[in-house]
Amino acid sequence: MWPFGKKPAFEGAAKPIMGNFNLTAQLPNGRGIQVSGYIFDGESIESLNGRMDLVQEAIERQRARSEIPELETKKEQLVGHLKGLQDALTELDHRRREKHNLTSQEELNFRNMGTNIKRISEEIDKGEQAIVEAKRKAGMRP
């Protein structure tokens, strides 16, 4: 069975090579992927496009697959940051309730933490959606 759906018509067998093509993509962490192919004498544009489409699908799958660890690491960092903010907010709230004076910087932090917590929670949600989408593109289970 052909891995990406309909098998493209290939007209190049036993024909002279007239040129070549390279498809390249940058991957996370400074990595890259490159695939080369040949253009055969008399090959139709449909045949060439079919082969190039096949290669592009494979490259896109590899790109999505290689992004997953990076997306998961970023999400873990955001979750840790969110917990730190929640702990700091709890501590400042406790101090305010106990009638301890907060410094002007602590008071400003206290007022802004709700907004910051909401923003980071939204970023975590976006990160989770990006992971699910990358896994879908890579043919993996979420």
The pLDDT tens digits for 22-53 are 999 998 878 899 999 999 998 999 999 999 99
* Confidence at residue 1, expressed as pLDDT on a 0 to 100 scale: 45
Q: Is the confidence at residue 119, as pLDDT, over 90?
A: yes
24's CB contacts (< 8 A; 6+ apart) are: 32, 33, 34, 35
- pTM of the predicted protein model: 0.70
Give dist(CA 138, CA 66) in Å, integer: 9
Amino acid symbol at 127:
G
State how far the alpha carbon of 96 is from the alpha carbons of 82, 84, 89, 100, 113, in Å. 21, 18, 10, 6, 14
pLDDT band at 16 (very low <50, low <70, confident <90, very high): confident
* Confidence at residue 13, expressed as pLDDT on a 0 to 100 scale: 55
Q: Is the confidence at residue 131, as pLDDT, over 90?
A: yes
Q: Is the confidence at residue 122, as pLDDT, over 90?
A: yes
86's CB contacts (< 8 A; 6+ apart) are: 117
Q: Is the confidence at residue 99, as pLDDT, over 90?
A: no
Q: Which one has a higher pLDDT value, 44 or 12? A: 44
Q: Looking at residues 2-11, what average pLDDT do you find?
A: 54
